[in-house]
Structure 1
Amino acid sequence: MASCSIYQLNAEVKGYKPRMWRRFQVSEDITLARLAYIIMTLFEMRANHLFDFEIRINLNKSKLIKELGRKNIEIPRKSLLKIIKIGLPDSQTNELDESIYDFNIFEVKMKQLITPDMPKIKFRYDFGDNWEINVKLEKIIIDEVLSKKGLPRVLKGKGYGIIEDCGGVDGLKSIAEAYSEKSGEEYENYCEWLLDDDIDLVSFDIEDMNNRLKKIPRIYEKLYEDGIYPTEKEIELIERNY
């Protein structure tokens, strides 16, 4: 069996206390889009919004952009900040807004931008609620036994994840506080909205999440890349109706 280079990453929801984080492993040759689908699954994001990545680089931006394939492009001086932005193309035209993004998220491999020299990258989801996930490369493992079929996998974590359209970190904190008290008008309103009177935002089930990682990233790939919406059965899986 050929050796498999594994990226071990740590991801944490920025600004939320108690810490909500995951330690997980992926194959080194996945695209940044695939990494995004994995992160979304890990933190209960349900593919209802746009997302992107941002990475601060420690070398010349113009040189890096050309090395990664964009050779025939004028780069304004004001854009030569040491930040690379990688985003989705327009869903209708399939064109990338080059005034905002340096790369198409479907075309860049994770290992091209996350390296031991540049180990940190920021994932953003839902630009209204503005969820930010700080991702850091912990180590690269050369495994002679593990097959890529065993990846991605989560090793450890804490916290449930986000709740869609709740208002971001502050909204999630309000929900956590209301459910900890289990009484009052705010609690009743949340119960009615979320159709659940007992949400646990602290626990994390590794076995269940590893099962979800086998299926959900593929559903998100079909949605964002092929415009194929989830089936009723897939929606039930995403929304944990099982």
Structure 2
Amino acid sequence: MSLERGGGKIQAKTLQLKIILDGVKPPIWRRFLVKNSMTFRDLHKIIQIVMGWEDYHLYEFSVNDLRIEDAERFSVDSMWKAFRPKAETESAKRTRLSELLKTEKQKFSYLYDFGDSWRHTVVVEKILDDGERETPACLAGERACPPEDCGGVWGYEELLKIKEDKNHPLYQERIVEWLGEGFDPESFDLDGVNEALSSLERE
């Protein structure tokens, strides 16, 4: 996994973003830094790491009523695209953050996995003039990312209920054999995330 390079001259700025997974309580969130010169495909790769997703599925961003997607990518859930409403789209590979993210407090959305529909709200908390800050970097976060393919928000909530009851008829199948008894929904490894982010620059 590597970040896209190239493009025209852009005034270097650093964006402090906060991403929150919608519909899950207590909230699962991360705060992180990125350069505004990167593409939305780059941002997708970074979100996958900071949140803890596995990058198995399709994604799209919605910014100012504009849909940004990776039209070149094929995934197991590509069939879901046929059921999505038509909208104006831009390429995640060619659209840079600087083109659309221009003000602090600006909000946009990130959808991952068209089947499970993991929706995230992203907020531009700060736009920093110092373009020399070390990025990408995760500053903080809380709680573990749900496991892939667990059925969305409802499925994750049900999975956590089963995990709390070893006598549940589905405990062996869903927890022992699938999720793993060591899964901790409250854990978040900040150092591990930043080590993974640093590997993006080495690839």
Do they fold alike, i.e. is TM over 0.5? yes
Structure of higher CA gyration radius? 1
CA apart distance, 1:162: 2.3
Structure 2 residue aligned with 1:172: 156
Structure 2 residue aligned with 1:116: 103
Work out the CA distance in 1 between the residues paired with 2:115 and 2:176: 23
Work out the CA distance in 2 between the residues paired with 1:216 and 1:145: 17
CA apart distance, 1:157: 0.6
Work out the CA distance in 1 between the residues paired with 2:21 and 2:201: 19
Work out the CA distance in 2 between the residues paired with 1:20 and 1:195: 18
**What's the C-alpha RMSD, in Å, of the aligned pairs?**
2.5
Structure 1 residue aligned with 2:190: 206
Larger fraction in helix:
1
| Aligned: 1:135 with 2:122 | yes
Pick one of 133, 136, 158 that aligns with 2:142: 158
Call closer, same or farther: CA 1:144–1:86 in 2, change over 3 Å.
Answer: closer
Structure 2 residue aligned with 1:187: 171
Contact 1:41-1:217 at 8 Å conserved across structures: no
Structure 2 unaligned spans of 5+:
1-10, 75-81
CA apart distance, 1:102: 2.0
Pick one of 40, 61, 66 that aligns with 1:84: 66
Work out the CA distance in 1 between the residues paired with 2:200 and 2:132: 25
TM-score by length of 1: 0.68
- Regions of 4+ moved over 6 Å: none
Work out the CA distance in 2 between the residues paired with 1:218 and 1:43: 20
Q: Secondary structure at the match of 1:208?
A: helix
How many positions carry a matched residue from both structures?
Answer: 183
Pick one of 103, 116, 120 that aligns with 2:90: 103
CA apart distance, 1:89: 1.4
TM-score by length of 2: 0.81
| Aligned: 1:38 with 2:22 | no
